[in-house]
């Protein structure tokens, strides 16, 4: 649910803000640790994107403000 809300919120942002969120995520990405499953790593990246979006753009997706 959180990922869907994040994707919807990113679609509502101006292109420049969405690109800035992507840039923030890329600055945090590290290679997947050998002991971490792909699914868990994917979830970790999704949470990092949510965090980066909140920090860089200053507003969490509306779905989290309810």
Q: Alpha-carbon distance 2 to 48, whole Å?
A: 12
Please give the Cα distance from 23 to 29 (Å, whole number). 10
Closest CA to 21 of 51, 63, 62, 52: 52
Q: Are 46 and 9 in contact (CB under 8 A)?
A: no
Q: What is the pLDDT of residue 39?
A: 93
Q: Is the confidence at residue 66, as pLDDT, over 60?
A: no
Q: What is the value of pTM for the model shown?
A: 0.58
The per-residue pLDDT for range 23-63, each reduced to its tens digit, is: 877 887 888 899 999 999 888 888 887 777 777 776 665 55
pLDDT at residue number 63: 58
């Amino acid at each position: 649910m959180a990922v869907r809300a994040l994707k919807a919120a990113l679609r509502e942002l101006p292109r420049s803000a969405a690109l800035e969120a992507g840039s923030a995520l890329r600055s945090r990405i590290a290679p997947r640790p050998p002991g971490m499953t792909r699914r868990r790593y994917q979830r970790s990246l999704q949470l990092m994107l949510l965090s980066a979006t909140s920090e860089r753009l200053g507003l969490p997706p509306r779905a989290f403000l309810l």
